[in-house]
A and B are shown apart, each in its own frame.
Chain A
Amino acid sequence: MNLFERYLNMGRSGVESIKSLGRATMLLANSTTWGGPGSAGFADLIKQIHSVGVRSLSIIIVAGFFVGMVLGLQGYTILSDFGSEAALGTMVSLTLLRELGPVMTALLFAGRAGSALTAEIGLMKATEQLSAMEMMGVDPLKRVITPRLWAGLIAMPVLALLFSTVGIWGGAFVAVDLLSIDEGAYWGNMQASVEFYEDVIKGLIKSVVFGLVVTWIAVYQGYDSIPTSEGIGKATTQTVVISSLAVLGLDFVLTAVMLGGV
């Protein structure tokens, strides 16, 4: 391959990425609002929240508990060097509420629910179900994409809160039951230092953004997939890879903006 062809390919893939971004934006613009031909109803939203939210509960809860326990152990080793084990509750809760809760939940959500969304929509496309809807006068964007998008947006913050809550319990289990830190110190210091707006709400804002981005990437990858088994496999992988990177990148941006340090 000569130099010219290399530049040509670079240009082509650049143009293709921008086109893809444009299609993704159009999809979002056309599917955020309810209403339109054959629009989905409230029941569809509930069904989707069940499928992306409720079915992710087990992985979120188990992961949250273990992450909290690890935080408890690691935090104890560091803090006890300074004689400040009593601050363990503060450390565990702030770490979870500000960072690990939203980020880990988004990563797990991308792997569990995002990939499933992509595969489901990709298969609906491959088996012509989306075309069939169009020919029935039902807009698949409104019928299929809108409820899934909103379900992800609603489920993610709830899951992130659950993750943090269970994580804090996990931390308490290690700290209080195994390492014999004073129970009153663990909970009391936590209560004194965690602020509702600064910590809880800002963490929730993150997880709302992650919910939108991960679900958007997932439904777009499914809707835009090449309708073959290979194409759907590739789209599913892309969902997990792109949304994980997007979550980590956005986490930095959001943290920088919300802490106001940059």
Chain B
Amino acid sequence: MSSEQPYISIRGMSFSRGERLIYDNMDVDFPRGKVTAIMGPSGTGKTTLLRLIGGQLLPDSGSVMVDGHSIPELPRKQLFDFRRKNMSMLFQTGALFTDLNVFDNVAFPLRVHTDLSESMIRDLVLMKLEAVGLRGAHQLNPAELSGGMARRVALARAIAMDPEIIMYDEPFTGLDPISMGMIVKLIRGLNQALGLTSLLVSHDIEESCNIADYLCVVSGGKVIGFGTPEELLNEGNDEVKQFLTGDPDGPVPFHYPAPDYRDELLGAGGSN
């Protein structure tokens, strides 16, 4: 890990939803200026982690520090200010505003947050759209875009305010190989060109290993492995290795906990 201060630092964080404990006293650091992929089995709350970092959810206990600011303790107005200046998130569905066209979607944060002239906004929007290769599509409506295009427009919108960190929520889900390749290239390219800190929630091990500087494997409310892809593949514990190699059975059992099979089939049936 770099010698710099980590960009995000989480200490002793617990979070539960109803009765279910999602994070249990978790500690993790995300380094500045790197791409870190958060991976783990479905339902472990990876997207929840992004929302905790973004301040959309509050932890039950523990601290979430982003660039030296304690996110859960920021008052509402400062939190919105902080998000505007530093953060961006790419949602799984793109979350484009359906009542605005592509151009206005990308222009939205600029119009809301800045006093730039309309011609300046136009230039900026076209530059952002050029970066994702969709300058020619700026008049289309969100309904006319394919899934991959919508995600690229959303990415252009996410970088409109030049954030310090982008959080990608499952950016590869449901994309064809070409669109996926484009998104991979963009994430990597943006990270290099702009020096962004990037967090990526994904199931796709191959793409994540390609793109990420670090992998963070989450399971059972804790971080069970953090390191470069090679480190984890060679030195991670069995559960991490099972996840990365995709073994159906291992420390994470194939079977959901159940009574003994033989008993259930042959036992004093009829009760169910």
Contact = CB atoms under 8 A, between A and B. Distances in A.
Interface of A: 36-38, 123-124, 127-129, 131-132, 134-139, 143
B95 A37 contact: no
Contacts of B54: 134-135
B141 to A, nearest CB: 14
Nearest to B91: A128
B80 A128 contact: no
21 contacts: A37-B77, A37-B80, A37-B81, A37-B84, A38-B80, A127-B95, A127-B98, A128-B92, A128-B93, A128-B95, A131-B56, A131-B95, A132-B154, A134-B56, A135-B83, A135-B89, A136-B88, A136-B108, A136-B112, A138-B112, A143-B112
Contact of B95 (A38, A132, A143): A132
Nearest to B83: A137
- Best-buried of B89, B97, B112 by chain A (most CB within 10 Å): B112
A36 B112 contact: no
A261 to B, nearest CB: 46
A132 B83 contact: no
Nearest to A136: B109
B83 A129 contact: no
Contacts of A127: 93, 95, 98
B88 A135 contact: yes
B71 interface: no
What is the size category of the interface that chain B forms with chain A? 20 to 34
Interface of B: 54, 56, 76-77, 80-85, 87-89, 91-93, 95-98, 108-109, 112-113, 154, 161
B91 A131 contact: yes
B47 to A, nearest CB: 10
Contacts of A123: 98
A138 B93 contact: no
Contacts of B84: 37, 136-138
A218 B28 CA distance: 42
Contacts, number: 64
B230 to A, nearest CB: 33
B89 A132 contact: yes
A203 to B, nearest CB: 34
A135 B56 contact: yes
Nearest to A40: B112
A250 to B, nearest CB: 32
A257 B2 CA distance: 71
Contacts of A139: 76, 80
A132 B80 contact: no
Contacts of B81: 37, 137
List the 9 closest pairs (A to B, CB-CB), nearest first. Answer: A137-B84, A132-B95, A37-B80, A128-B95, A137-B83, A135-B89, A38-B112, A128-B91, A137-B80
A162 to B, nearest CB: 27
Contacts of A38: 80, 112-113
A168 to B, nearest CB: 37
A137 B95 contact: no
B98 A129 contact: yes
A38 to B, nearest CB: 4
A104 to B, nearest CB: 30
B80 to A, nearest CB: 4
A129 B97 contact: yes
A138 B83 CA distance: 9
A37 B88 CA distance: 16
A137 B56 contact: no
A80 B134 CA distance: 73
Contact of B87 (A129, A131, A135, A138): A135
Contacts of B85: 137
A37 B82 CA distance: 11
A129 B100 CA distance: 12
A138 B98 contact: no
A132 B92 CA distance: 11
Given A127-B93, A139-B76, 18 more contacts: A37-B81, A123-B98, A128-B91, A128-B92, A128-B93, A129-B96, A132-B97, A134-B54, A134-B80, A135-B83, A135-B88, A136-B113, A137-B81, A137-B82, A137-B84, A137-B113, A139-B80, A143-B112
Contacts of A132: 89, 91, 95, 97, 154
B150 to A, nearest CB: 11
B95 A129 contact: yes
A123 B143 CA distance: 14
Contact of A36 (B56, B77, B91): B77
B112 to A, nearest CB: 4
Nearest to B112: A38
Nearest to A37: B80
A136 B95 contact: no
